[in-house]
């Protein structure tokens, strides 16, 4: 199998984190010619990463779908809880993260440069981001640490996203939004220290450094 990915993408990073946690032998590759190249569009017409190419040639796109596939196809190291209620809780946490945290963060990334920043749009998106982090903080209050230091699908989805928050905070000279939320701060203190989280976050930082060097 081959996973098309990029160090800086939080969506690709969540799949890499699951691959590492499961100990899967999956080749990691960057899109040939770039995301919108004819070569890559022939592989994934959506033109985004990640995309997983199976051994039979089938292509699975979108990070959530890939995570669920890997969990179904390789259940030996389970990242999904056995309890259906806990699985639903974790899916909700991941969904809240995607809809109400990652979405405004994506818009804010387009306004990092103060020379081309729309201040009104940025303030609007920060209000959405603050509300999303509040929702996430409230749902994390009942999330118990995984047994034996194992990762869960919710961790795979949250860790790369939360790692990007300081980039936004630094660009806009904002205080730590995680530190202001006790449940989120306690979760991040545990999750960010996991060896695989450290590995993936280092990959993200490498991608950010390369982007800045090319700017």
Please write the tens of the pLDDT for every residue from 119-141: 999 999 999 999 999 999 998 87
- Check pLDDT > 70 for residue 111: yes
- For residue 103, tell me if it sits in a domain: yes
Per-residue confidence band for 145, with pLDDT thresholds at 50, 70 and 90:
low
Residue 8 and residue 92 in one domain:
no
- Contact, 172 vs 121, CB < 8 A? no
Same domain for 56 and 109: no
96 with 187, same domain: the answer is yes
pLDDT above 70 (res 146):
no
Residue 215 has pLDDT above 60, yes or no: no
In tens, the pLDDT along 35-50 reads 999 999 999 999 999 9
Sign of CA dihedral 136, 139, 140, 141: positive
In a domain, residue 78? The reply is no
In the listed set 51, 73, 95, which residue is the last one of a domain according to the structure?
73
Residue 120 lies in a domain: yes
Q: Is residue 139 located within the same domain as residue 162?
A: yes
Residues 198, 102 share a domain:
yes
Please tell me the pTM assigned to this model.
0.92
Q: Are residues 208 and 137 in the same domain?
A: yes
The range of the structural domain enclosing residue 191 comes to 84-214
Are 181 and 98 contained in the same domain? yes
Domain count, the chain: 2
CATH of the domain at 43: 3.40.30.10
40 and 139 housed in the same domain: no
Q: Does residue 125 lie in a domain region? A: yes
**CB-based contacts of 28, cutoff 8 Å, min separation 6:** 2, 3, 5, 16
CA angle 15, 92, 97 (to 5 degrees): 60
Q: Looking at the structure, do residues 123 and 191 belong to the same domain, yes or no?
A: yes
The Cα 152–Cα 22 span in angstroms is: 10
Given 73, 92, 123, which residue is the final one in a domain?
A: 73
pLDDT at 198 over 60: yes
């Amino acid at each position: 199998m081959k996973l098309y990915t990029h160090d800086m993408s939080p969506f690709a990073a969540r799949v890499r984190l699951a691959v590492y946690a499961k100990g899967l032998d999956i080749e990691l590759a960057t899109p040939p010619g770039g995301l919108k190249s004819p070569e890559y569009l022939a592989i994934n017409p959506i033109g985004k990463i990640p995309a997983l190419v199976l051994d039979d040639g089938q292509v699975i796109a979108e990070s959530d779908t890939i995570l669920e596939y890997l969990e179904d196809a390789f259940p030996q190291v389970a990242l999904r809880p056995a309890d259906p209620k806990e699985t639903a809780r974790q899916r909700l946490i991941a969904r809240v993260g995607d809809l109400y945290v990652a979405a405004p963060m994506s818009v804010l990334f387009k306004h990092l440069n103060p020379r081309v920043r729309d201040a009104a749009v940025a303030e609007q998106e920060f209000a959405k981001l603050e509300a999303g982090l509040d929702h996430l903080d409230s749902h994390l209050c009942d999330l118990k640490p995984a047994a034996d230091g194992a990762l869960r699908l919710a961790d795979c989805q949250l860790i790369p996203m939360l790692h990007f928050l300081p980039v936004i905070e630094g660009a806009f000279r904002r205080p730590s939004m995680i530190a202001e939320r006790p449940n989120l701060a306690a979760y991040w203190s545990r999750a960010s220290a996991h060896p695989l989280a450290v590995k993936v976050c280092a990959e993200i930082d490498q991608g950010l450094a390369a982007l800045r060097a090319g700017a």
